[in-house]
A and B are shown apart, each in its own frame.
Chain A
Amino acid sequence: MPISGLVVTFQSSVAEHADSIDQIADLPEVEVGESAGSKLAIVVDSATKRRDQEIWNAVYQLPGVIDLAVAMVAFDEDAETKP
């Protein structure tokens, strides 16, 4: 049951990617947090590792997304992931 805090980086300012952000927000497992510049913080709380991976892939492929970085994952998954 992974919980992860992710940082989505867009090509340009967050404001220009409202469509993609709406799509992210529509995912029931995702909570959208604060944003600044081209970065947006989200938390994914999914039931399985597989689902977590699916969400990751889905977000990664949204238009305008150039990077997805892990800020934190729940302890059992935790490792020295370089942000």
Chain B
Amino acid sequence: MNRLTMIFLSLVIAVAVIGYFVGIGDGVPQPDGYYESSLVDAELSRTPADDAKLIPAISYAEIADTPMGPTKSWQTMPQALPDADYDLYTQIEPSEADKEASSKLRASRRAFNGAPPVIPHPVENTTDAACYACHSGGVKMAGMKPSVMSHQFLGNCVQCHAPMAPAPFQDVDADVATNFVGLPAPKQGERAYQGAPPTIPHSQWMRENCNACHGGPNGWAGMESTHPWRTNCTQCHAPSATLDQMPDAELFTPQDVPMLPSLDVVEN
């Protein structure tokens, strides 16, 4: 009798244990992608061995016996103070190839020149603050460099900038068959003569912050100004009235600008 009870109870316990492991195992749905974000993903897949900068944690018990802080040999070495992140007075001379690569990357993100660029990554958090965190002044992080906003802060970023497909639908075929040919990017502004400052070859609307692309620590490679210390851009580079939708720009060609009548000077 006692023996039977024992067997019965062991069976119950065994079933319960198996049930528990089955329960936490495959049967429980774990919706994919919900807690996923590209950042978390990258973080989780990283192992200490891959990255020399990651030092494995030690247990509390080992702390007292573990030497920490800079090593002796490091302390004796002369250390250079870090340079400022960005030196306004460094001369930048992008090569033709740099300019080319830069233009190509830029063009690949637009349906035509003047279109707001698409967002080259999926958008998982819809608040503007999330966009602004990286794109306000720009940052450099893990080899990535988010573009700097070229315009004043506007709410609802995805109103104008189309993101990549949401995470669950990234593999859906999104090809479209189109004959649309967009306006290409301008190669350069016009120069009145050799050596004259070129005009601005694009509209200034939504591109008020020249530094977003042409300067600053987070500008576009290959598009930086060669003279970043000069900060009043439109002093020398003239915008285009037509591209900026100035009223009736075409009416004011030089011959149409009304001139004052010649002065009526009394002759003796």
Contact = CB atoms under 8 A, between A and B. Distances in A.
Direct A–B contact in complex, judged by CB atoms less than 8 Å apart: yes
A83 B143 contact: no
Contact of B105 (A50, A76, A83): A83
Contacts of B122: 76
B170 A79 contact: no
11 contacts: A50-B45, A75-B120, A75-B164, A76-B167, A76-B170, A79-B143, A80-B120, A81-B143, A82-B143, A82-B221, A83-B221
Interface string B66-108: 0000000000000000000000000000000000010001000
A80 B165 contact: no
Given A50-B45, A83-B105, 13 more contacts: A49-B45, A75-B121, A75-B164, A75-B170, A76-B38, A76-B122, A79-B121, A79-B143, A80-B145, A80-B147, A81-B144, A82-B143, A83-B221
Interface in A68-83: 75-76, 78-83
5 smallest CB-CB distances across A and B, nearest first, come from: A79-B144, A78-B120, A80-B145, A75-B164, A76-B170
Interface in B137-163: 143-147
Contacts of A78: 120-121, 164
A42 to B, nearest CB: 17
Contacts of A80: 120, 144-147
A50 B164 CA distance: 23
A76 B122 CA distance: 7
Nearest to A53: B50
Interface of A: 49-50, 75-76, 78-83
Nearest to B109: A80
A79 B120 CA distance: 6
A34 B164 CA distance: 29
Contacts of A76: 38, 122, 164, 167, 170
Contacts of A49: 45
Contacts of B164: 75-76, 78
A83 B45 CA distance: 24
Contacts of A83: 101, 105, 221
B145 A82 contact: yes
Nearest to A79: B144
Q: Most chain-B Cβ atoms within 10 A of its Cβ — which of A49, A78, A82, A83?
A: A82
A75 B120 CA distance: 7
Contacts of B101: 83
B144 A75 contact: no
Given A82-B221, A83-B101, A83-B105, A75 B165 contact: yes
A13 B194 CA distance: 37
Contacts of B144: 79-81
A78 B144 CA distance: 10
Nearest to A76: B170
Nearest to A1: B171
A5 to B, nearest CB: 12
A30 B162 CA distance: 32
